[in-house]
Amino acid sequence: MNKNMQDKVQKVAEIAERLKTAKAMVLVDYKGISVEEINALRGKFREAGVEYVVLKNTLVRRAMDDAGITELDHLLVGPSAFAFGIKDEVGPAKVISEFIEQSKSDKMTIKAGIVSGKVIDAAGVAALSKLPPKEVLIAKMMGSLNAPVTNFVGVLSATLRSLVYAVDAVRKQKEGEEANA
């Protein structure tokens, strides 16, 4: 096997490994993005724990075929960039959606995405970008789980408080009867 072919095989293996280890991947079409814009975008990607790369469509297609993902083959045309979410599932979608919203142009469009091995369309990626951060979702869930317990404790303490008031009223009544006798 010649050197060029070995490099391509190695690159396909690297891409396949990225697909397997990334929590999410967003496929975008880009055109007309200035160097300043792409550098600013790359900085935001780094902050969010996202790996942004431009790869050859043919190599990505082979890596996806190796990973058993064939639903995106028809989208691997033209200039394509890939944002791999390393830290969380929503990072790539959030950064890309914010860029598209701020630039108010068609310099970048979302083609599709993969989240936890499942292919989602552009609308799914947009919906994913609107989710709050994972920590907020966990806090809301914990609050929801905690609410019934808190309410139950409140009911029990109110019942106990009522019992204490009743016993205290009986005690005062008995003291009043003894004082009159």
Residue 25 and residue 87 in one domain: yes
Report the residue count for the chain.
181
Residue 46 and residue 67 in one domain: yes
Residue 50 and residue 72 in one domain: yes
Sheet containing strand 108-115, edge to edge, reads 50-54, 80-85, 24-30, 108-115, 118-121
User: Nearest Cα to 113, choosing from 132, 137, 96?
Assistant: 96
Residue 48 and residue 17 in one domain: yes
- The whole domain housing 87 covers 3-131
| CATH for 69 | 3.30.70.1730
Residue type present at position 127 = A
Residue 69 and residue 148 in one domain: no
% helix, strand, coil for the chain, step of 5: 65, 15, 20
Number of domains in the chain: 2
3-class secondary structure, 178: helix
Residue 8 and residue 47 in one domain: yes
* pLDDT level of residue 86 (50, 70, 90 thresholds): confident
pTM, rounded to two decimals:
0.71
CA angle 17, 112, 57 (to 5 degrees): 55
pLDDT digits (tens, 9 = 90+) for 134-173: 777 788 788 777 777 777 777 777 777 887 888 888 888 8
- At residue 83, the pLDDT reads 92
CB 91 within 8 A of CB 52: no
Q: Which helix (H) or strand (E) holds 168?
A: helix 134-180
CB count, 10 Å around CB of 89? 18
* pLDDT level of residue 181 (50, 70, 90 thresholds): low
* 26 has a pLDDT exceeding 90: yes
Residue 66 and residue 124 in one domain: yes
